[in-house]
Structure 1
């Protein structure tokens, strides 16, 4: 039975009466954390007040659990009737007693190691869903799995994607009206996005909506999206089906009960470059959009496209929060979103009409949004058609998947924001790589400089903040400088607090009204996941997954806590907690000095190949964040045959390191070795900069 605390709920309602904002349609506040965003509103706001601005200084560790992986941990744990359910890398699922930390069960879906190559942004998983005694999880290899919540035993499993294509699942499912909704990823490689609804009891497909149309002349899909195919096709040009078009629904799926609709966030185009994907023509519906679907049938209702014909990996998949706001003296039922492109959107949920949009970080790809059309006013140089363009924000996002939160008490949204510029130039000639990355953009131009002053300038351009944003005024209320990007998601509570972890490994509590730091705990592990809070037998807890990685952290050349990473942890805190805790970090190995010498042309060729292929996992300039091996320090580097066995032949594919024989020759792979060896010599000479 769910534990409901009338005192906490009444305090929340009383506080809300004194604020300009109020949500009359919230689901009942409970002591549990039942779904990804806390409730269907996805506000990540808790009514619990035992841990508050006065008592938080007494917060201490109650218990922790060490996982079997040092890969990124992005999950939002669920708490149901005194049990925590969470997921780790490689889509593993765990259940713990929420008070003692005793592990109750675990489930390993045994995802094949080579699937890791299909995952653009680490082998992460953002969490599970709970419904009717069952736990649901999307596996990296495209399966949707139902488990018995008490025992962890498998109830059913269904494949949701064509596994011969580079699809993955990293997002958390949502359960809506007895159906489990799940999307997928893979748009960097070349897939066609969609969202699917499966019967929660049987796993049978109920409906599917494709976010990108089939090619002109192709047969309909027999899907809920068939009725809108012609409208979508009119916004595309050429044969986009060669690379699927992209538009994957890899994160936000939100149920809006008031309008019986599901709001989905749709990702980037595939390839990135609009000229390659669609001959530079058309808006390319529904990439970079929010789309509203009928919750029963999956039929199209409305959409808002943030970046028509996008070319920068500006996904619109980031957190969608539902609320009622008083705007211009009127009560408006809205959704709020702060996606990668750097603009904070307030949109009417009844019809998808834009109410307001304002940049929350510096942006140079647009000067703002034309409120008559709802379209961005683009910088004519931004599409890099006439040469290089350094975009801010970039595909790393002004705000990425790390969830933001919203407090109906303060009326503020709390955004884990960042500034990560990226240089874009068309990849000419574009050479398709079946099953590999297909961006249409030359990433190698972002290779890090050797000059110390230039390197320092690059590092200083990377910024991270917590921004408290007033969605009514479209104005910043306060900010906290985190020193760099790649930080954790947000939690806010009726105790007047905001909790967030950061890349330096600290979980911090801030005053929700001012941003003043009130408490912190050093986990020793970079945190990218969002915290949650729950209560059992009247005792409130705060929990967070600590484990660095993900799309930014995996290849981050300037990562905090650089070096070999310890295994990730689940940490749970309570007032008066005194559990012991320690982290052992392995020392950084010395660079490997290779005796062979190569021509400058070979090293230059290797730099280009590395920048466009290897850097997305092993770090720019061969500077590893430590999540994956630092190739400059790998013993494999010293031996040509061993290097070829790993990189060409794929002898370590079970660990996620596939062979690249289908895309590169042995000479290409030796050129990469030459470049990495050159980087190792630089480290030996000048040290890590």
Structure 2
């Protein structure tokens, strides 16, 4: 239901000593290595008229509508067979690339791990400059999802970068040097920035993440020229005793109960921010509650505005205009921060300006951009938490028992969502929305308020993976409905699935649609696909040697169309989603393709796996305790069942030196300067010993499997790996 308040108008580079040695340097910009092409200032006029410059990719979603549709058609359903690798660029790490590159007048700009920025020649891939904001590696502990970054914004002759430690930095587009830098968050709190800024009307809009670590969400606007703060809109109310920032927050507070501010409350705007140039409105997607369990953060109920909402703001002042709350009182980590797409469509016989939204909750929402009125909400994946939406009230009809109140429940979608941050695309030629869908559930077993322990610097959700009955129910649910993933085409005007194609693994990449009637998507098992936009037929694929997570872009240089994408595993909870790479994970890359491209990737060289160390003198109970602690504090980065993807060390294949220093690393912060956090605030020596014993036990289990031969060993390895892939999504305590 749209309500109207009157307007006043993170993967970690563990164990790398070199990174630790470099961590104390100031902001660094590398001088241009080769001459950059001539580039014109990026203006509001250029961004509004992005279709007049199909050779460029000027903003995160290409244009203000964020449709991720390229008007280029040189590569089409017939010619795509001749697509080949034109060039690739090696990044400087393997912690995960989730960036959407910008391409402006022949230069490509993108970001990498630790919020670094790069400029390369878009025709050749030659490095022009590199910028390193020198993010303190100790920040890794409160980075939800690895040391990743999703991209840049451009305005005038500058680029704008949000950093993991909460800064917003303006960078000269030609020299790669910092122009100004401002701290957008309280550095003493667990905020982070991984999303791309957005720019309009000379203002840079930026949100932040960190809700699970105890933060209160907001979005800010800064002057693109000076870095001066112009306005800030909080997404949830703070402590009433401190007074409310405005009447909107006072009204929102009436939808909360208890002392929610003690937990931070959540509502972070960590990804989607969209400017509507036609209506001059700014839309923000608001995140989940913190902790997720609504009975802990807001005992006594309440809708908890503006959690899981789309909120419209005045871009000049930040004043509230309207909102639509997709999941009132959300309790499953169903954020509304996933990509919003603007379109003009025919709906029930009328032309409507709409927001198309397919967030984690599993429904495709069609929202009127003028008023915030819900026009349609239909499921695009398996959904069990709600049966449908009441179109008179705009509210979901929750299914009894799915809020895990007093009894554990297996719920679809999982906390990872039916669609997460991986960009979707909309083609005005087909009228289809292309969604990287994840069809998977998970068990929720609440930690009741008296037993709840809020841990600073660590994830706080208010639920856990249960044992006994909940495990049995989850096992049965997985037998009945194994996790699946698809590229799904959604017919927007008819609110139904047009087609979908299956993928062998979960957690696949973002999407690009083109006027050549193609849809490009990368997969977690290391392929880039070109698919017929009308039928879903796979027409072309390329072995990328690594997982592809973000969305591709398309641009043109010297009359040739390119398709480019960032390639590389990394980021939290991406372990175990592809092949059994083990310690193998090549440096993350940008890959660009064109018709007749003849470049090739270097051969894959998988390293030898070391022999496991001697088992520790530990009881079965101690090893089980170590497993529980590993699941609670380590699996978020190192993978479920200690099965890693190589972006951070796979704990089964540690060299002897790391076993010798295990306690010093975990408790004393020996490798904190390289990004491996210390855990002496929540663990003691006995805890660390039990974790170490569990890790070594897993190393021996893996070694024994590798020594067996024949089909039985292969089957057991595949089963173990598949099980880890499934479980890894549910180890979010």
TM value normalised by structure 2 = 0.87
How far apart, in 2, do the equivalents of 1:558 and 1:664 lie? 31
Residue 280 of structure 1 deviates from its aligned partner by 4.8
Contact 1:443 1:611 in 2 (8 A): no
Partner residue in 1 for 2:675: 656
Residues 311, 588 of structure 1: alpha-carbon distance in 2 compared, 3 angstrom cutoff: farther
Partner residue in 1 for 2:729: none
Residue 676 of structure 1 deviates from its aligned partner by 2.1
Partner residue in 2 for 1:516: 537
Residues 316, 356 of structure 1: alpha-carbon distance in 2 compared, 3 angstrom cutoff: same
Q: Look up the SS of the partner of 2:506 in the other structure.
A: coil
Partner residue in 1 for 2:7: none
Partner residue in 2 for 1:674: 693
1:357-396 correspondence to structure 2 within 5 Å: 357-396=377-416
Residues 657, 425 of structure 1: alpha-carbon distance in 2 compared, 3 angstrom cutoff: same
Partner residue in 2 for 1:240: 260
Deviation digits for residues 627-677 of structure 1 (CA, Å, limit 9, x no counterpart): 2111122236984x6211011111111121111001111112212222223
Residues 417, 591 of structure 1: alpha-carbon distance in 2 compared, 3 angstrom cutoff: farther
Partner residue in 1 for 2:183: 159
Which has the higher mean CA deviation after the structures are superposed, 416-425 or 354-363? 416-425
Q: Look up the SS of the partner of 1:519 in the other structure.
A: strand
RMSD: 2.4
Residues 174, 278 of structure 1: alpha-carbon distance in 2 compared, 3 angstrom cutoff: same
Residues 637, 599 of structure 1: alpha-carbon distance in 2 compared, 3 angstrom cutoff: farther
Contact 1:443 1:612 in 2 (8 A): no
Partner residue in 2 for 1:646: 665
Residue 454 of structure 1 deviates from its aligned partner by 7.1
1:456-471 correspondence to structure 2 within 5 Å: 461-471=482-492
1:332-343 correspondence to structure 2 within 5 Å: 332-343=352-363
How far apart, in 2, do the equivalents of 1:390 and 1:563 lie? 33
Q: Look up the SS of the partner of 2:242 in the other structure.
A: coil
Contact 1:140 1:169 in 2 (8 A): yes
Residue 521 of structure 1 deviates from its aligned partner by 1.0
Partner residue in 2 for 1:17: none
Residue 207 of structure 1 deviates from its aligned partner by 0.5
Residue 456 of structure 1 deviates from its aligned partner by 13
Residues 511, 638 of structure 1: alpha-carbon distance in 2 compared, 3 angstrom cutoff: closer
1:187-198 correspondence to structure 2 within 5 Å: 187-198=211-222
- Find 1:284's aligned residue among 290, 304, 329: 304
Contact 2:190 2:213 in 1 (8 A): yes
- Find 1:493's aligned residue among 507, 514, 520: 514
How far apart, in 2, do the equivalents of 1:447 and 1:622 lie? 25
- Find 1:185's aligned residue among 209, 233, 236: 209
Q: Look up the SS of the partner of 2:634 in the other structure.
A: helix
Residue 583 of structure 1 deviates from its aligned partner by 4.2
Residue 587 of structure 1 deviates from its aligned partner by 2.8
Question: Does residue 538 of the first structure (1) align with residue 559 of the second (2)?
Answer: yes
Residue 529 of structure 1 deviates from its aligned partner by 1.1
Partner residue in 1 for 2:464: 442
Q: Look up the SS of the partner of 2:400 in the other structure.
A: coil
How far apart, in 1, do the equivalents of 2:578 and 2:559 lie? 43
Which has the higher mean CA deviation after the structures are superposed, 601-610 or 538-547? 601-610
Question: Does residue 121 of the first structure (1) align with residue 145 of the second (2)?
Answer: yes
Q: Look up the SS of the partner of 2:76 in the other structure.
A: coil
Residues 197, 388 of structure 1: alpha-carbon distance in 2 compared, 3 angstrom cutoff: same
How far apart, in 1, do the equivalents of 2:505 and 2:74 lie? 32
Residue 458 of structure 1 deviates from its aligned partner by 7.3
How far apart, in 1, do the equivalents of 2:469 and 2:127 lie? 44
Question: Does residue 547 of the first structure (1) align with residue 568 of the second (2)?
Answer: yes
Which has the higher mean CA deviation after the structures are superposed, 650-659 or 315-324? 650-659
Residues 69, 407 of structure 1: alpha-carbon distance in 2 compared, 3 angstrom cutoff: same
Residue 443 of structure 1 deviates from its aligned partner by 4.1
Contact 2:51 2:71 in 1 (8 A): no
Contact 2:547 2:578 in 1 (8 A): no
Residue 241 of structure 1 deviates from its aligned partner by 1.0
How far apart, in 2, do the equivalents of 1:255 and 1:140 lie? 23
How far apart, in 2, do the equivalents of 1:458 and 1:263 lie? 40
- Find 1:200's aligned residue among 224, 246, 254: 224
1:201-220 correspondence to structure 2 within 5 Å: 201-220=225-244
Partner residue in 2 for 1:316: 336
Question: Does residue 173 of the first structure (1) align with residue 197 of the second (2)?
Answer: yes
How far apart, in 2, do the equivalents of 1:117 and 1:447 lie? 33
TM value normalised by structure 1 = 0.92
Partner residue in 2 for 1:624: 644
Partner residue in 2 for 1:92: 116
Residue 196 of structure 1 deviates from its aligned partner by 0.5
Residue 427 of structure 1 deviates from its aligned partner by 2.3
How far apart, in 1, do the equivalents of 2:489 and 2:580 lie? 24
Question: Does residue 571 of the first structure (1) align with residue 595 of the second (2)?
Answer: no
Q: Which runs of 5+ in 1 are unaligned?
A: 4-23
Residue 544 of structure 1 deviates from its aligned partner by 0.5
Partner residue in 1 for 2:428: 408
Residue 462 of structure 1 deviates from its aligned partner by 2.3
Which has the higher mean CA deviation after the structures are superposed, 204-213 or 563-572? 563-572
Residues 637, 285 of structure 1: alpha-carbon distance in 2 compared, 3 angstrom cutoff: farther
Partner residue in 1 for 2:365: 345
Residues 643, 203 of structure 1: alpha-carbon distance in 2 compared, 3 angstrom cutoff: same
Contact 1:504 1:561 in 2 (8 A): no
Residue 561 of structure 1 deviates from its aligned partner by 4.0
Kindly tell me the number of residue pairs found equivalent between the two proteins.
Answer: 661
Question: Does residue 73 of the first structure (1) align with residue 91 of the second (2)?
Answer: no
Contact 2:443 2:466 in 1 (8 A): no
How far apart, in 1, do the equivalents of 2:612 and 2:543 lie? 32
1:467-486 correspondence to structure 2 within 5 Å: 467-486=488-507
Residue 375 of structure 1 deviates from its aligned partner by 1.2
Question: Does residue 143 of the first structure (1) align with residue 167 of the second (2)?
Answer: yes
Deviation digits for residues 64-113 of structure 1 (CA, Å, limit 9, x no counterpart): 11111111101000011110001111111000111121111010111111
Contact 2:573 2:637 in 1 (8 A): no
Residue 245 of structure 1 deviates from its aligned partner by 0.3
Question: Does residue 35 of the first structure (1) align with residue 54 of the second (2)?
Answer: no
Contact 1:486 1:552 in 2 (8 A): no
Residue 35 of structure 1 deviates from its aligned partner by 0.2
Residue 141 of structure 1 deviates from its aligned partner by 0.7
Contact 1:37 1:43 in 2 (8 A): yes
Residues 591, 118 of structure 1: alpha-carbon distance in 2 compared, 3 angstrom cutoff: farther
Residue 166 of structure 1 deviates from its aligned partner by 1.0
Partner residue in 2 for 1:431: 453
Partner residue in 1 for 2:524: 503
Contact 2:408 2:470 in 1 (8 A): no
